[in-house]
Chains A and B, each alone.
Chain A
Amino acid sequence: MRGAPRLLPRHRAPRWAELAVAWALILAAAAAAGFIAVYALDADTQWLGLLLGGAFALLAAGSIVTAKALVPQEKKEQERESLDHDAEDLDVTVYVQEAGEGITRSRLLKGAAGAAGLTVLGALLVPLASCGPLLDVEQLRRMAWRRGRRLVDENGRPLIADEIAIGSMTPAFAEGVDRERLDASLIVVRLRPDELRLPPQRADWAPRGILAYSKICTHAGCAVSMLRYPLFAPKAPSPALVCPCHYSTFDPARAGKVIFGPAGRPLPQLPLSIGENGELFAAGRMSGPVGPSWWGVERG
């Protein structure tokens, strides 16, 4: 088409490479057609992945052989242009300077522009405060529990003291409270009364050795869902409630004290009482705020 000298080095593609690329493309088309067929029939995930992935793999093979054998092989050397420019090319600064030369009260204008800019930006950002309750940290301290509220299990049936075995762990909820609320869920464990090491002011919080703690870890808000209860006391460590996220470990016998892991404050404890028919009730409020900690939270 043009009589000018060649731009690319002369290159003869080897026959095997041409055939290989042709085969790769034909097989890629076949795999893609297979994908369509499988999709139309039963759309089995393994076959779909195998055929679509295979089609792309074959396209990859075709492209790589094309790059390495079909087209001219060249390594080009090119001068790097200098990145910085001489002073007269940096006219940008001059444009900026000369545009402002006629202004005398530039400090006033700069100040006003700064004030306007910041205020308008602030005005645009302030509506973000509608995203949620503002300056209302108090609702983090809300309590599902008050004296006389009944403990129920996952199915809404009241928890019966006699049905809770020593060394067992039972999840419980506040009756009539949304279970999604962090403060609604408890973990109820029963220890032998002689194992208890509660502080004197909590001496009557665990009737018959039944203890109730918030189920939400004070470290990162996961549900404390494991109980370690040693069966052979001399060898095994003390009973412990463990959170499976970062393995904060709390001692149920000692008012939820942290005995291992990153949690910084004990699990809040709920005082219990046993009703006439053996049902479990809250005997008061939780010992501290439920859930992960924040700046200014009571350590309990």
Chain B
Amino acid sequence: MIYRLVRYLDTRTGQSPLLKKLMRYVFPDHWSFMLGEIALYCFVVLVATGIYLTFFFEPSTHRVVYQGEYSPLRGQTMSEAYRSVLDLSFRTKAGLLMRQTHHWAADVFLVAITLHVLRVFFTGAFRRPRELTYFAGVLMLALALFEGFAGYSLGDDLLSGMGLAIAYSVVMSIPFVGANLALLIWHGPFPGTDQFFSRLYIAHVLLVPVAIGVLLTFHLVSIAFTHHSQFRGSREREDNVVGVPAWPGYTFRTLGLAFATAGVLFLLGGLVQINPVWQWGPFEPSQSTNGAQPDWYLGWLIGALRLMPNWEPHIGSYTLIPNAFWGGAVFPLIVFTFLFFWPAIERRITGDDGIHHLLDRPRDAPWRTAVGVGFFTWVGMIFFAGSSDRVFVEMNISYESQIHVYQVLVFVIPFVAAFIAKRWCEGLLRRELHPLRTPGGGPVRRSASGGFERLRR
């Protein structure tokens, strides 16, 4: 039967050689190569659960009085958007499962992408010929951050609104054009109008997902063009690719990973509560709540906004650049500029423009590893500074003192971390040196296979 199916397809498309090539496509094997796949399967779960949510969600700020199942909010005036989120959580069967799974999938999606980017950075996988794959990946990280924020904002609960107020302020703070841009996007001063909400909605359910989908396709196709990179091994060389073929081995492996991702996400969505919007209440610009934290992947931005000293360039009594610009716009711009330009910077510094199919271990490029450790420690410390208010609540350490300490440490610790990383890498490399070349030397013995082994006294 399979033979007849293949014949059928081949006589109509003539592509059975392509099919055979795809079946025997080789996937190098390493646990860290699965991070990108997990992100891919999170995206699939996000699209599936997201489509389900659109059947019930109303992207409207039209005011209604709540008369639903959740009695503490009954009789409250709220937007139709918020009411529809409450209804799909309490009234729609399986609605809460899908909403929570969607939210969890977004959080895991960004964990997987972030770790994937770190893996690619520290193994030098961004080098020629994979720069285009890398650029598409970094762009997807940026889009995924925006997409997550947009989704979080659509619920129109109190935390959504506070997040949007901050986003509005950051847009407003852009030099010269900010105020006009914000008025354009929000269709007037904050909180904007219904038009803004329908824009946010179409961005979240169509524009950004389609953009991610297109980049994702490019990402995968460009990997297929170059084949996956691999670590050096007994058989792995620059001019070959060693691994498990797509059929039969890899198909079932990756299917297993896809099912496992979906399984974990649905278990989380069903068993672990996330973003109980009914507890926050509807958004009013005149209200806010203390101790609010965004989804984890925006922690670095809230940290930057909180750490920035209140410095605002001004002329006389006129502000030029409002403070929110530094933490909300300049900081992420620095991070993404670093990510985008690192391949070019490294090429300039090392002068190495060769083709690399073999990956570095982090120790193989101590200099790159040191820069990466330093840079990501900087971002990570700012991320942790964003949780200072929780630390104050949990451990009663003065918030102000924490901020003052962080303001110094975020510029000290990264250098220390980079120094340690470099030394560590060099130490690891030294241990692998040929015994005759280690400082001090020592007695060695030639083994039957031609290698040297150290003799211990």
Contact = CB atoms under 8 A, between A and B. Distances in A.
Contact of B285 (A50, A60, A140, A182): A182
A220 B245 CA distance: 53
Interface in B15-33: 24, 26, 29
Contacts of B172: 292-294
Interface in A199-226: 215-216, 219-226
B170 interface: yes
A219 B242 contact: no
A247 B270 contact: no
Contact of A67 (B183, B252, B318, B403): B252
A262 B308 contact: yes
Given A80-B357, A299-B317, A54 B290 contact: no
Given A8-B248, A49-B266, A57-B267, 4 more contacts: A49-B267, A56-B263, A70-B252, A222-B165
Contacts of A64: 252-253, 256, 260
Interface in B376-402: 389, 399-400
B189 interface: yes
Interface of A: 1, 8, 39, 43, 45-50, 52-64, 66-68, 70-80, 83, 128-129, 131-137, 139-140, 142, 171, 173, 179-182, 184-185, 215-216, 219-226, 243-248, 258, 260-265, 291-300
B175 to A, nearest CB: 5
Contacts of A137: 179-180, 183
Contacts of B195: 131-132
Nearest to A288: B317
Contacts of B309: 262
B318 A50 contact: no
B200 interface: no
A21 to B, nearest CB: 10
B260 A57 contact: yes
Counting chain A CB atoms within 10 Å of each CB, the highest count among B29, B190, B239, B403 belongs to B190
Contacts of B176: 295
B237 to A, nearest CB: 9
A223 B271 contact: no
B227 A245 contact: no
Counting chain B CB atoms within 10 Å of each CB, the highest count among A48, A75, A76, A215 belongs to A76
Contacts of A78: 24, 26, 227, 240-242
B292 A245 contact: yes
Given A67-B256, A295-B176, A225 B288 contact: yes
A299 B190 contact: no
Interface in B159-175: 162, 165-166, 168-170, 172-175
Given A53-B270, A296-B319, A132 B284 contact: no
A71 B248 contact: yes
28 contacts: A45-B97, A46-B271, A57-B267, A60-B260, A67-B252, A70-B252, A76-B24, A78-B26, A80-B238, A134-B183, A135-B180, A139-B188, A173-B286, A179-B284, A179-B286, A215-B286, A220-B170, A221-B166, A223-B288, A225-B289, A225-B290, A245-B165, A262-B310, A292-B165, A292-B168, A294-B172, A295-B179, A296-B320
Interface in B38-95: 93-94
B443 to A, nearest CB: 37
B453 to A, nearest CB: 27
B347 to A, nearest CB: 17
A135 B267 CA distance: 50
Contacts of A140: 179, 183, 189
Contacts of A294: 172-173, 178-179, 182, 319, 322
Contact of B266 (A53, A179, A216, A226): A53
B226 A182 contact: no
A73 B252 contact: no
Interface in B239-296: 239-245, 248-253, 255-260, 262-271, 284-292
Interface in B183-216: 183-191, 195, 199
B166 A132 contact: no
B256 to A, nearest CB: 4
Counting chain B CB atoms within 10 Å of each CB, the highest count among A132, A135, A185 belongs to A132
Nearest to B20: A7
Contacts of A56: 259-260, 262-263, 266
A80 B263 contact: no
A83 B355 contact: yes
B365 interface: no
Nearest to A129: B184
B235 interface: yes
